[in-house]
Structure formats: C-alpha cells, structure tokens
Amino acid sequence: MRVAPKYLILSSALLLGGLPAFAAEETPSVAPMAAATAIVKCPGVTSIPFTADEEQALPLRIVGSLSCGDTVAVLSDGEGYTAQIRTKDGQEGYVARMYLASAGSTPATLQKAQPSSANPVNGVVRWVAGAPGCDEFLSHGRHVESITANGITVQVSLQDSGWKYRADVAISNQSASKVVVLPGIVTLDELIPNTRALLATNPEKLAHTPTHQVLWTLANAVPSPSAIANYSESKPEADRLANRTYPAPDYLSPHLAVASERHFAFERSESVDVLSIALKPTSVTPGQLTAGVMWFERDSNAHDLSLRVPVGDMVFDFAFSLEQKK
C-alpha cells in the first residue's frame, strides 16, 4: 500500500529561495507526539512574518505570515530569539518568540516577560541601565544597548576600528504606523573629555578607500558610567547581563554587521562590500526591521560618547564609554 508523506511544504517562498523543507516523514506505526501550541499575538500590527532560518538574518527569507489570534504548533523552543512553529496548513518556519502567547501546553519559556516601553521626554528617550524599555546584552562579542518605546525598538553597538568609529544599528517597527529611517541625521557626539560632534563618513567614500580597516575592532564600547549610576545597587556588568529586567530580541544580524578582530598588522578589508552593509535611508513598515553599519570620525582621546538615532517622531539616545587605544 502506498503511503503519502504526511507533510509537504511547497510554499512559493521556499521554492524561490531553494530552501529545504523542515518537515520529515514519520513511521506510520508510531503515533506522533502532540506538539505544544501557542497563540500569535500582534502588538499594533495585523500580521507577523515567519522565516525559513532560525537566526532571521537579513535579508529575511520569509515563508509566510501569521494573523493575530492564529494557533500554531511549537515544534522547538530553545529559549533563543525565535521558536520553530508549524501552521494549521502545514507550513513550518521560525517566528520571534515575543509574538507567541501561552495556549494550552505551550512551554513555560514562552511566557517570559516581553520588553516594557520607555517614556520619551520631549521626544527624546535615553538609555539607562535597568530602566523600563532599556536592555543590554552581548551579541557576537559586541555590547548592545537596546531601547523600546511606543512599539519601536532601536539597538546599537559601537566599536573602535583604530581608524573610524563603527556603529551597528538596527530598528524594529512593531508600532501601528511605518517609520522613516534617515542615516544622515544619526549623530555621534564626544562628551568627555571634549564636547564636539564626530562627523559621519559617507560609505561611498569608504568603498573607494579599501586599504583602511573598516571592519577591524580594537575596542568595544560599553555603557557610560553616567547611564548606570542610578541602577539599583550599582550592579556590575556581569550581573546586569545575567539578570536582564526587560529582555529584548537581538535584531543586530551577525551576517549584516560582521566584525573582524585585528590579529595581524597587514590585515585588509578589500573584500568587504561596504555599501551592502551600510545603513540605508528607508521606510520601515509595521512588523518589519532594518539594520546596517555607520562610520564616524575617531578621536583617540574620546571617552564618553552619545549616539543619537532619530526614528519617527522620537530620538533614541545611547550613552557609551570607550577606553581608547591610541
């Protein structure tokens, strides 16, 4: 007797991307385990995309979309950024765990608290360790500061290449309206020991000077002491990272913002396509995100810096400290 495969994934997204199907045939004589279930929740949007890859690296390989209130089967949940799910029509992929709510036998890990919202003051929202809507974590060796306010999450990290400052920036829009991202109005200011603006470098100019270390990392910036001074009990960094009060997903794609350690003096970065990874002007629709890299002038004496990212009608202000290597 011929037995048809239980699952067959033929979505157009998978066919176009040449991606492998996730489902596997099961032995007919063995009853499959009942998968846990979850309800799709949509903060301010009508649908949520799910992807073929677990990391959800850019560009997103979208399999399909989920509507608010849909019930999905949770196939795997490793307590990371995403969980593997299956829809009622048999499609499988990965969705950010922040969009899944408890339903029946859903694993308890999906019930973790989601990022709170920071409160803008006169249109400016500042990163402060432990404050509502503020988070910090390590992502591929980078210290990331994250702010969520009014449905918009902005995450940044700052590195010193020894030639330029490099800022990795990600913006996720979970609000009800699209927002405009303009790299030309993102600013980096030195606060200590001097007060001055550090001008952004046009990535097109960097693309024509390939002998410079655009992706080297001599030092990673960490939160400024001024931004953690009021944190409860002045907890050290290790404790703050281990006990995150308002955890946010990691939107900084390792495939987009690749950083290399400087092991040898003759290392070069000619093979890097600077324009492809640079942060670009764009409109981010609800439920989508954008990410990229910016470069700024470097001051070997700078210690405390402020990186400001305007998004929509708010300015997200991040405070960093950097022990410079001259």
> What DSSP line would sit under 123-162, residue for residue?
TEEE--TTSTTEEEEEETTEEEEEEEETTEEEEEEEEE-S
Same domain, 83 and 149: no
Picking from 111, 143, 170, the residue at the C-terminal end of a domain is 111
What's the confidence (pLDDT) of residue 288? 86
Please tell me the predicted confidence (pLDDT) of residue 79: 60
Q: What pLDDT score does 271 carry? A: 57
Q: What is the pTM of this model?
A: 0.65
Q: Structure tokens of 33?
A: 């385990």
Last residue of a domain, one of 78, 111, 144: 111
Q: Is the dihedral of CA 193, 195, 196, 198 positive or negative?
A: positive
Helices (H), 156-273: 203-207, 225-228, 237-242
Q: Taking a C-beta distance cutoff of 8 angstroms, is the pair 76, 82 a contact?
A: no
Q: What is the CA radius of gyration of the chain?
A: 22
Digits of tens for pLDDT over the chain (326 positions)? 444 443 333 333 333 333 333 333 333 333 343 457 888 876 555 677 888 888 776 566 788 888 878 888 888 876 667 888 888 888 888 888 777 876 654 444 444 445 579 999 999 999 999 899 999 998 878 899 999 999 999 999 999 988 899 999 999 998 889 999 999 999 999 999 989 999 999 988 887 765 567 778 888 999 998 888 666 545 777 888 887 888 888 888 654 444 333 433 334 444 567 888 899 999 999 888 889 999 999 998 899 999 999 999 999 999 999 875 54
Domain boundary among the residues 111, 140, 165 is at: 111
Say if 119 falls within a structural domain: no
Classify residue 172: in a domain, yes or no.
yes
Q: What is the largest CA-CA distance in the chain?
A: 80
- Ordered alpha helix ranges (H), 133-270: 203-207, 225-228, 237-242
Tally the domains of the chain: 2
- Expressed as residue numbers, the domain containing 23 is 12-111
What CATH number corresponds to the domain at position 82? 2.30.30.40
Residues 169 and 130 in one domain: yes
What is d(CA 13, CA 61) in angstroms, rounded to the nearest whole number? 7
CB atoms closer than 10 angstroms to residue 5: 10
Q: 264 and 163, same structural domain?
A: yes
Report the distance separating Cα 216 and Cα 165, nearest Å.
10
